[in-house]
Amino acid sequence: MSDAPARRLRQLGDVAVGNLRHVGEKRVAALNSLGIENVFDLLTLYPRRYIDRTKRVDLSDLNVGDEAAVFAQVQKVSSRRTRQGKVMVEVTVSDDDDANLKVVFFNQAWRERQLTVGVQALFFGKVTDYRAQRQMTNPVVDVIVGATGEERDASRVGRVVAIYPASGKAGLTSWEMGGFVEESLRRAGPLLDPVPDEVRRDLDLVDRTASFWGIHLPAEFSDIAPARRRLVFDEFLRLQLLLALRRRRLEESSSGVAHPINVEDLDVAPGALSTPDSTLVRRFLAGHRFTLTSAQRRVLGEIAADMSSPLPMHRLLQGDVGSGKTVVALTALLASIDGGRQGALMAPTEVLAEQHLVSIRRDLENLSIHDRSVLGGERPLSIQLLTGRLRAKERLNVLAGLANGSVDIVVGTHALLTDDVTFRSLGAVVIDEQHRFGVEQRAALREKGKERSREPIDPDLLVMTATPIPRTAAMVVFGDLDLSVLDELPGGRLAIKTVWARGDDEVAACWARVREEVARGRRAYVICPLIEGSDRVQATSAVQERDRLVEHELAGLRVGLLHGQMKGAEKEEVMARFRIGSLDVLVATVVIEVGVDVPEASVIVIEDAWRFGLAQLHQLRGRGGRDTTQSYCYLLGDPPSEDGEKRLEALVTSNDGFALAEIDLDLRGEGTLLGARQRGRSDLRLASLRRDEELLLAAQSVATTMVQGDLLSPDSDMVDELRLFVDDNEADYLFKS
Ligand code: ADP
Ligand code: MG
């Protein structure tokens, strides 16, 4: 075996589990049902934990709750059926000091034959308390001395033993899994290492063979950590390599445009000189209501660099609620129009699209554009809405304008993605609240630029999110995007005061505050509890809550209602009334979660706040604090869980979306975050975004070097390995030379 050529991981993927000893048809089926088909799958089935068999404990020292290995002799064995019909084998064992322990096995009838009186064995497991007696249930057993005194399997004594995720359903014990893994390892022999020696040296990584042995069959506890470290690095490296390759292919195959951007225009402040011949970007910023924050200026610099390069921009803009993403987006769209092209802004809901339309029209109302096809050679900028709600005739008008270029900016929902939408020349696309849109929708809108416009170009793409994602998670989830961050709130804003109103007095104070603020000419939102069930159920409960509030806490105030079952026109009307102040309070379901911007709103009350996720709560709170006066957020309700309490506490203590995102990652684990990613082999199995940030960064830098330095020939070991993680189509696309 030692002379065998070192194997590639992918070769292990070619060996089906049925080739292992003791794996017959039944076990093949059981393993397959767990998604384990080949030797590679087995080797990447990592232990859940380890038991140190070297730590033997005397029975008399054993405490409930201990996880221990005890060496003892069988005194008594019996078996019976439980009321549920399970076979239960009960064994009493004792050690030299005559201390006893009860050991119980369920559905392992054969234990009665294995553990006959006189047998000496090691029992590993957790000690529980059953009817005031210490007991081990379904421990791992190593028979050391048989009933007749013969020694058995002494090789396994004193080792660190890996415990695998056993599967009762598939009828496989951890012990069996361990056996399959061990055989796989032995038969695989030495493994080829695709990571260059100097990279391993620099990062202090053990080689691949050592990593698999160390994680599955560690000789000592201290072997495990370095093994894990290397395997985690490999997971990140493969992921980052695939992302970097995808990106490179996209760049190679793309036909972007270099938009004409004058960087000096970005430094223009309100009141600066501009002439009708200045760029739209310059005229916009010179005539705007406010000066850019330095974060906005910095991010626009990053965007301008992307847009003026012929490679299409592919950038994620993260900025907390209220950080001022809109002006950044508008500037990008105007840069596209300066180059004689169009821009599109896609929002996740109709309410938001309509609201964007209103504010964009307001912000751009004084801008005109040179157009030789109209009388006078100049016309106002045309900004139109395209949602599913448009009447047929309006829709046709907008479609015609997009196709002939007389519409400059279109604001819409996913209605922008339907087939009959074509552009004359789509130069830039902004997607607001990215997390609501899937990767496919992102791609579809981009395709519009190429397939559905008279000029086949890849538009520059800016996706924006107000849901801050920890940097590590962004690298994994949105790894194919460049990252910009707006980490500064526009000046003069006061942090929102957040109160978790628990007692009756505090709740009363909350409603008093609402009345007080309204009396001062301010407005309030009340967010209804999240109700399980249909939109209809949710809507009904919102109606009831509004009626209740009008009768009691908010009697005498003008209270409006907004929920998902209302027609578009109704929603619009309510929003409009709230915006102009003919409503004092808006009772709403989470439909208002994102983007709604009413600067006069200074109180937001969130009922049963614990029902919402942390990110969502932070979003909701961000509806307030939109001008320079003090705003308040009240969290109502008593969380039934510790998690709920922690979320509300976090919200009270922090106003920083990024800090909250880190806390959220801690509370929820990364599973939920990564949920957006496609499942499958490429999933991170060992890696933790929280614990392994250093390795992720290292892997990213190694991946970038490898891809940019063209160090990945199609027949390299590394590329061969990556093929395990992509389907054939994608492999052809990514790895063709
Ligand atoms: P976001 O979309 O990132 O939540 P918006 O773009 O809606 O934030 O901006 C929030 C509010 O801050 C708006 O009322 C906007 O006009 C205002 N604003 C944005 N940038 C600035 C700035 N540089 N100075 C002053 N006010 C600003
Ligand atoms: Mg916004």
pLDDT for 703 equals 94
pLDDT for 631 equals 94
263-267, 409-413, 417-421: range with lowest mean pLDDT:
417-421
Highest mean pLDDT among 45-59, 130-144, 163-177, 434-448: 130-144
Highest mean pLDDT among 405-419, 529-543, 713-727: 405-419
Give the residue-averaged pLDDT of 342-367: 91
Q: Residue 600: CB within 6 Å of ligand 1?
A: no
pLDDT for 515 equals 97
Between residues 122 and 721, which one has the greater pLDDT?
721
Instruction: Specify the ligand 1 atom closest to the Cα of 327.
Output: 6
Asked if 478 and 470 touch (Cβ cutoff 8 Å), the reply is no
Q: Residue 323: CB within 6 Å of ligand 1?
A: yes
pLDDT for 436 equals 58
Asked if 452 and 479 touch (Cβ cutoff 8 Å), the reply is no
What is the rounded CA–CA span in Å between residue 623 and residue 603? 9
Asked if 286 and 274 touch (Cβ cutoff 8 Å), the reply is yes
Distance 413 CA to ligand 2 centre (A): 14
Between residues 86 and 591, which one has the greater pLDDT?
86
What is the rounded CA–CA span in Å between residue 262 and residue 2? 65
Residue with tokens 């400059």: 408
Instruction: Specify the ligand 1 atom closest to the Cα of 320.
Output: 3
- Tell me which residue has its CA closest to atom 10 in ligand 1: 322
pLDDT of 442 higher than 70 = no
Q: Residue 228: CB within 6 Å of ligand 1?
A: no
What is the rounded CA–CA span in Å between residue 680 and residue 686? 14
Q: Residue 319: CB within 6 Å of ligand 1?
A: yes
Select from 290, 328, 330 the residue to mutate for testing ligand 1; criterion: most ligand atoms less than 8 Å from CB: 290
pLDDT for 438 equals 61
Between residues 585 and 10, which one has the greater pLDDT?
585
Distance 346 CA to ligand 2 centre (A): 11
Between residues 255 and 402, which one has the greater pLDDT?
402
pLDDT of 365 higher than 50 = yes
Is residue 333 within a helix (H) or strand (E), and if so which, with residue range? helix 325-338
Bridge partners of residue 343, in order along the sequence: 409, 428
Q: State which amino acid sits at residue 307.
A: M
**Dihedral in degrees, nearest 10, Cα atoms 480, 482, 483, 484:** -150
- Tell me which residue has its CA closest to atom 9 in ligand 1: 324
Residue with tokens 């990447």: 44
Q: Residue 321: CB within 6 Å of ligand 1?
A: yes
pLDDT for 593 equals 53
Q: Residue 626: CB within 6 Å of ligand 1?
A: yes
Based on its alpha-carbon atoms, the radius of gyration of the chain, rounded to whole angstroms, reads 32
pLDDT of 425 higher than 80 = yes
pLDDT for 661 equals 81
pLDDT for 596 equals 66
Q: What residue spans of 559-608 are helical by DSSP H?
A: 568-580
Pick from 603, 569, 567: nearest CA to 586: 603
Tell me the pTM.
0.69
Cα 488 to Cα 484, 624, 657: the distances in Å are: 12, 17, 11
DSSP secondary structure, 66-90, as one string: -EEEEEEEEEEEEEEE-TTS-EEEE
Q: Residue 141: CB within 6 Å of ligand 1?
A: no
**Residue 679: pLDDT band by 50, 70, 90 thresholds?**
very low
pLDDT of 678 higher than 50 = no
**Residue 389: pLDDT band by 50, 70, 90 thresholds?**
confident
- 3-class SS of residue 132: coil
Give the residue-averaged pLDDT of 535-551: 89
- 3-class SS of residue 105: strand
Distance 230 CA to ligand 1 centre (A): 45
| Burial category of 44 from C-beta neighbours within 10 Å (exposed 0-12, middle 13-18, buried 19 and up) | buried
Q: How does pLDDT run across 111-162, given as a tens digit for each residue?
A: 999 899 988 888 888 899 888 889 999 888 877 777 776 655 544 444 787 8
Give the residue-averaged pLDDT of 346-363: 89
Distance 296 CA to ligand 1 centre (A): 10
pLDDT for 55 equals 67
Question: What one-character DSSP code corresponds to residue 128?
Answer: E
Q: Residue 325: CB within 6 Å of ligand 1?
A: yes
What is the rounded CA–CA span in Å between residue 432 and residue 355? 12
Give the residue-averaged pLDDT of 355-372: 91
Q: Residue 356: CB within 6 Å of ligand 1?
A: no
What is the rounded CA–CA span in Å between residue 299 and residue 297? 6
Select from 434, 597, 620, 629 the residue to mutate for testing ligand 1; criterion: most ligand atoms less than 8 Å from CB: 597
Give counts: helices (H), strands (E), the chain. 25, 23
Select from 299, 326, 579 the residue to mutate for testing ligand 1; criterion: most ligand atoms less than 8 Å from CB: 326
Distance 580 CA to ligand 2 centre (A): 19
Give the residue-averaged pLDDT of 552-570: 90
372-386, 389-403, 714-728: range with lowest mean pLDDT:
714-728
Give the residue-averaged pLDDT of 337-356: 91
- Tell me which residue has its CA closest to atom 2 in ligand 1: 325
- Tell me which residue has its CA closest to atom 15 in ligand 1: 324
pLDDT of 448 higher than 80 = no
Question: What one-character DSSP code corresponds to residue 496?
Answer: P
Phi and psi torsions of 50, nearest 5°: -130, 150
pLDDT for 2 equals 47
Q: Which ligand is nearest to the CA of 319?
A: 1
Asked if 604 and 620 touch (Cβ cutoff 8 Å), the reply is yes
pLDDT for 166 equals 63
Residue with tokens 């029902």: 611
pLDDT for 594 equals 46
**599-610 as b/e: b if 16+ CB within 10 A:** ebbbbbbbbbbb
pLDDT of 423 higher than 60 = yes
**Dihedral in degrees, nearest 10, Cα atoms 330, 333, 334, 337:** -160
Residue with tokens 């250093």: 694
pLDDT for 659 equals 83
pLDDT of 629 higher than 80 = yes
pLDDT of 74 higher than 70 = yes
- Tell me which residue has its CA closest to atom 21 in ligand 1: 490
**Residue 307: pLDDT band by 50, 70, 90 thresholds?**
very high
Instruction: Specify the ligand 1 atom closest to the Cα of 296.
Output: 23
pLDDT for 29 equals 92
Give the residue-averaged pLDDT of 720-733: 83
Residue with tokens 């990106």: 247
Q: Which ligand is nearest to the CA of 488?
A: 1
Distance 66 CA to ligand 1 centre (A): 57
What is the rounded CA–CA span in Å between residue 598 and residue 580? 9
Q: Residue 468: CB within 6 Å of ligand 1?
A: no
HEC assignment per residue over 194-249: CCCHHHHHHHCCCCHHHHHHHHHCCCCHHHHHHHHHHHHHHHHHHHHHHHHHHHHH
- Mean pLDDT computed over every residue of the chain: 86
Distance 329 CA to ligand 2 centre (A): 9
Percent over 70 (pLDDT), the chain? 91
Distance 321 CA to ligand 2 centre (A): 7
- Tell me which residue has its CA closest to atom 27 in ligand 1: 490
Residue with tokens 């490679």: 311
pLDDT for 386 equals 95
Between residues 332 and 51, which one has the greater pLDDT?
332
pLDDT of 451 higher than 90 = no
Asked if 171 and 160 touch (Cβ cutoff 8 Å), the reply is no
Highest mean pLDDT among 5-14, 225-234, 459-468: 225-234
Q: How does pLDDT run across 190-208, given as a tens digit for each residue?
A: 999 999 999 999 999 999 9
- Tell me which residue has its CA closest to atom 18 in ligand 1: 324
Q: How does pLDDT run across 268-302, given as a tens digit for each residue?
A: 999 888 888 899 999 999 999 999 999 999 999 99
